[in-house]
Amino acid sequence: MVRMVDIGGKPRVMRQALAEGRILLQPRTLEKIRHGLIKKGDVISASQLAGIQAAKRTSDLIPLCHPVPLSGVLVEVIPERDGVRCTCEVSAVYSTGVEMEALTGVAGALLCVWDMVKYLEKDKTGNYPNTSVQGIRVLLKKKGHTGITTHSERGKRKAKHASERAGHSKGES
């Protein structure tokens, strides 16, 4: 059985999340991106828009995610030495976190990069031996004024959430 978790009793507080990921590309592809020579157009701008759209549509893509009314989405797409890095920062005042929206924003932006440059990345057989989306992860999340947790603090975060749940069940906020 699967179900959407009931968040009706949770308070609405400011939620923020930051995620990142990257796509590895060939040097000649990166040069064409940097010089605006991609056939489909401006990779950076298109990928930023794709990331924003993806973050906004997360609940349409991931079945049990709540549709979150986002108050802000910032997507950065940055060419680097061996690929393109993407970050997505999402914020909302809501009853559930926005990590999935940030992760989806990164994935959408990076897939847009791939789509726009795939003609340059294909080998003679039509495959992509050098192209790879990697390292999509949550860098940080923030809930109200309780502080920031990072991906390396999972144990602390679990303990904190257990403590918060215990406090809410006693009527504390």
Per-residue pLDDT of the chain (173 residues; tens, 9 = 90+): 998 888 888 889 999 999 999 999 999 999 999 999 999 999 999 999 999 999 999 999 999 999 999 999 999 999 999 999 999 999 999 988 899 999 999 999 999 999 999 999 999 999 999 999 999 999 999 998 544 444 444 344 444 444 444 444 444 43
Residue 100 within any structural domain of the chain: yes
Residue 3 within any structural domain of the chain: no
- Our count of domains for the chain comes to 1
pLDDT score recorded for residue 105: 98
Give the domain CATH number at 62. 3.30.70.640
Sheet with 132-143, side-by-side order of all strands: 72-79, 83-94, 13-24, 132-143, 148-150
Residue 115, Cβ neighbours under 10 Å: how many?
14
pLDDT score recorded for residue 18: 98
- What's the whole-model pTM score? 0.82
Helix (H) or strand (E) holding 21: strand 13-24
Tokens of 172: 């504390």
Active centre residues (catalytic): 115
Let me know how many helices (H) and strands (E) the chain has, helices first: 5, 5
Residue 155 within any structural domain of the chain: yes
CA distance 47 to 73: 13
Residue 4 within any structural domain of the chain: no
